[in-house]
Amino acid sequence: MSTALPLAIAALLTLGLTATLHAAPDEAAYGRDNQYPRGSRDDWWQQRHLVGAQSAMGELFAARTVAAGDRPRALKPGGALEDWQPARQYLDTHPATGLLIVKDGTVLLERYQYGRSAGDRFTSWSMAKTVVGLAVGIAVAEGRIASIDDPLDKYEPGLAASAWKGVSIRQALNMASGVRFDEAYDKPGSDIARFSRAWTRGEGRFIDALGAMEQRDAEPGSRFKYSSADSQALGQALAAAVGRPLAEYVSEKLWVPMGAEADASWLVDASGMEAAYCCLNARLRDYARLGMLLLDKGQVDGRRIVPAAWIEAATSVRLRDWHLQPRRATPYFGYGYQIWVFPDELGFALLGVRGQAVFVHAPSRLVMVQTAVWPTSNDPALSRQRDMFWRDLLLRAARL
């Protein structure tokens, strides 16, 4: 008998043993035995469907394409962290569908779990807010928005007869509109639950939901309060200012020039308006390219895409904005323009529920992207684990 067959069998057994030793957490609960089904519009959010659904949101729900160009920004192969034990331990215990670490354009680690691959498009959840914030900066540079101190209703009159009247673009960027909104994700009757029916069920338009908001619980600009309604109002004003759907504008001004390798999709309401506060679906490597754009102060290969001054303002907090400072806006993070700011000089972050994240640390030239399927919208223990892994990674990256 040829030695090829026994060797092949041995190789398969070795691969099987490796898969067993390095299995992702709770694979059976996430639907492994049924090839990670995505479920339907009625049950996609159940744990057994999260893996499949969160990598197929653009197929489950109505969406508009964010077209990529034909010249993707190259990512250099590296793999310096492929055998790094803390990364193996992290993936063995953290429900991440994808983890990608890039330093100065070189891929240090790229791993997928739960049957996912580099070709999947993972949902951003609230990381999409940062895309909207960057697009606002581009619109300001183009003169389509005269000033971020203009009121939102100057550009979107549908907000003028509501609590949004007079709220500035800057205040919405900083999550400081003061408009009352309940962001409790796991409460069926919350404002965010009703708001999201525009894309989960095609019930109504975002602009109508925003226009019906009549109460404030703070003066605009006086305090930080995370609100997806602020991001949606910002998106409505931006779309009106540029006279185009957000997906088209972002494609031309951001996705193509930053060198995305694949089309993304963006979920929309019944009228075709993008869910500006969430629901972009893209490849892991394109989220990394977005992080690299931020790392490089808004330029790619010497070509300016977003003004450097905008990136600086978006990823930091002015001293006079005490209510936005780290450990004041929240017990941990501060907030810029639709971007979270770490304390302790750990960089800044794009964050989405259920563990989605892009972390950027400019001094280390480091970008980390994680997509995940946390069983609940927010998980303090998993969040702490991710934070500690980031801190360990920064220490390790300094030696690479």
Does 265 have pLDDT greater than 50? yes
Count of CB atoms within 10 A of residue 26's CB? 13
Residue 188's pLDDT band (cuts 50, 70, 90)? confident
What pTM, to 2 d.p., does this model score? 0.94
Q: Per-residue DSSP letters for 217-277?
A: SS-TTS-----HHHHHHHHHHHHHHHTS-HHHHHIIIIITTTT-SS-EEEEB-TTS-B-TT
Contact 192, 154 (CB under 8 A): no
Copy the structure tokens of residue 295: 């790392």
**275-324 residue pLDDT tens:** 999 999 999 999 999 999 999 999 999 999 999 999 999 999 998 999 99
| pLDDT tens-digit readout, 14-50 | 333 333 346 899 999 999 999 999 999 999 999 999 9
Other beta carbons less than 10 A from residue 156's beta carbon:
22
pLDDT score of 400? 83
Give the pLDDT score at 22: 66
Nearest of 154, 181, 149 to residue 165 by alpha carbon: 154
Other C-beta atoms closer than 10 Å to the C-beta of 179 total 25
Q: Is the pLDDT of residue 4 over 70?
A: no
The one-character DSSP state at 159 is G
Residue 351 to residue 328: CA distance in whole angstroms:
18
**Unique residue bearing structure tokens 């529920």:** 353
Whether 226 has a pLDDT exceeding 50, the answer reads: yes
Structure tokens at 149: 């101190």
Which pLDDT does position 21 carry in this prediction? 45
Q: Taking 80 as the threshold, does the pLDDT of residue 257 lie above it?
A: yes
State how beta strands 303-304 and 340-341 pair.
unpaired
Is the predicted pLDDT of residue 7 greater than 70, yes or no? no
* Owner of token pair 């794009």: 350
pLDDT reading at 8 higher than 50: no
Q: What is the pLDDT of residues 196-205, one digit of tens each?
A: 999 999 999 9
Half-sphere exposure of 84 (CA within 13 A, CB side): 21
Note whether 95 and 25 are within 8 A (CB).
yes
Please count the other Cβ atoms lying within 10 Å of the Cβ belonging to residue 21.
9
Q: What is the pLDDT of residues 79-89, one digit of tens each?
A: 999 999 999 99
Look at residue 351 in the predicted model and tell me its pLDDT: 98
What are the two backbone dihedrals, phi and then psi, of residue 26, each rounded to the nearest 5 degrees? Answer: 55, 40
CB 280 within 8 A of CB 266: yes
- Alpha helices (H) in the chain, listed in sequence order: 4-21, 47-54, 57-60, 85-93, 128-141, 169-173, 191-195, 197-200, 206-211, 228-242, 246-250, 284-295, 308-314, 380-397
pLDDT tops 60 at residue 2: no
pLDDT digits (tens, 9 = 90+) for 96-143: 999 999 999 999 999 999 999 999 999 999 999 999 999 999 999 999
DSSP string, 318-374: -TT-GGGSTTTSSSS-EESSS-EE-STT--EEEEEGGGEEEEEETTTTEEEEEEE--
Q: For residue range 229-255, what is the model confidence (pLDDT) as tens digits? A: 999 999 999 999 999 999 999 999 999
Position 73 pLDDT exceeds 50: yes
pLDDT at 16: 35
Question: For the chain, which domains are there?
Answer: 63-397 (3.40.710.10)
What is the residue-averaged pLDDT of the chain? Answer: 94
